[in-house]
Amino acid sequence: MKKIFMLLSIATIILSSCQTNHKDKKHEESKFVVTSPLKKDTTITKDYVCQIKAIQHIELRALEKGYLQNIYVDEGQFVKKGQSMFQIMPKLYEAELQKAQAEANFAKIEYENTKTLADSNIVSKNELALAKAKYDKALAEVSLAKVHLGFTEIKAPFDGIMDRFHVRLGSLLDEGELLTEVSDNSKMWVYFNVPEADYLNYKTQIKKDSLQQVQLLMANNKMFEFSGEIETIEADFNNETGNIAFRATFPNPKKLLRHGETGNILIPEKHQQALIIPQKATFEILNHKYVFVVDKDNVVKSRKVTIKEELPHLYLIADGLAETDKIIIEGLRKVNENEKITYDYVKPKLILSQLDLYAE
């Protein structure tokens, strides 16, 4: 009997100890981490996929028919305005000019003779006017022949970079046939599409008569060394995408950028006294974001919030929270609505410092 009593006492002690440990463990598990929204001026960076274009990029085409007699430049070469690039065989057009000049000389002699006779009242003024008209027509034919002859020599319309050739030496060209393209890369126009909400934010924040400075992230993930400026916005939104096109201009003194490149435009966006919370403090119900707010009696209430901007690990809150509110940051799955909790409060700056932040 004495042994049985001792065994029962030991069992009671063990059971009591287990219950105590279970209660302590449950108490530890039910303790939550709480913080508040951080209010501060914040700058975030928006990025948009962009297309890079030369400020001038044109096609050079043959204006006359004929054999391509000379090519004075090479693909990829920098050319100066007025520099000779191609020569179409000019012999036919030279002959046409000589013919026109001969006809003009003949018409001039006729006119001068008729004028002498008209001055002596031998012929009428109408005959003189007819001779003058024939002479003027002949001079016009000379001018036209000179133009056609001039079209056989194709010159650079501006300083720029040659593209590849679409013809080769000796090719028989038709009028209007494509020879090459030329790009003026001294400045670059960079086009990117902006959603309606971002457009409205931009227009309300930008000061009148000022230009927004932007950066260009190139395709190799390196930043272009020169800043650009947003100079113009298209007139209409695209009804299919809901976007509107912006154009930024970048200087390109080192000729690094070329027509047709792609990249990303980076635009800083300032938010005055923004409310910032960690993303992990929120949960979602039917596509709406909620947080658990702890009231003055330590009772948990769920509250819907409106997200203004989304960043890695962070949300900027537009509506639903105040700087003084206390929100649960850890243990969201363990709490229920209207439950009274115990918690440890951590300052928001300390919470955010432990996250990878992209806001400044």
Distances in whole angstroms, Cα of residue 123 to Cα of each of 107, 126, 131, 161, 246 = 17, 8, 11, 62, 71
In the prediction, which pLDDT does 10 show? 42
Question: What residue type is assigned to position 119 of the chain?
Answer: D
Helix %, strand %, coil % for the chain, to 5? 30, 40, 30
Q: Both tokens of residue 291? A: 């947080």
Q: For position 29, what pLDDT does the model report?
A: 52
What's the pLDDT tens digit per position in 36-91?
Answer: 999 988 888 889 999 999 999 999 999 999 999 999 999 999 999 999 999 999 98
351 C-beta neighbours (distance < 10 Å), count? 21
Instruction: Check: pTM over 0.85? Answer yes or no.
Output: no
Q: In which residue ranges of the chain is pLDDT below 50?
A: 1-28, 357-360
CATH T-level topology, domain 46-54+185-271: Elongation Factor Tu (Ef-tu); domain 3 (2.40.30)
The type of residue at 105 is N
| pLDDT, tens digit, 9 for 90 and up, residues 25-37 | 444 455 789 999 9
Q: Which CATH superfamily is 90-151 part of?
A: Helix hairpin bin (1.10.287.470)
Record the tokens describing residue 326, joined without a space. Answer: 């206390």
How many angstroms separate the CA atoms of 219 and 264, rounded? 8
- Could you give the 3-state DSSP secondary structure of residue 108? helix
Q: Where are the domains of the chain?
A: 46-54+185-271, 90-151
Structural contact between residues 162 and 59, judged by C-beta atoms closer than 8 angstroms: no
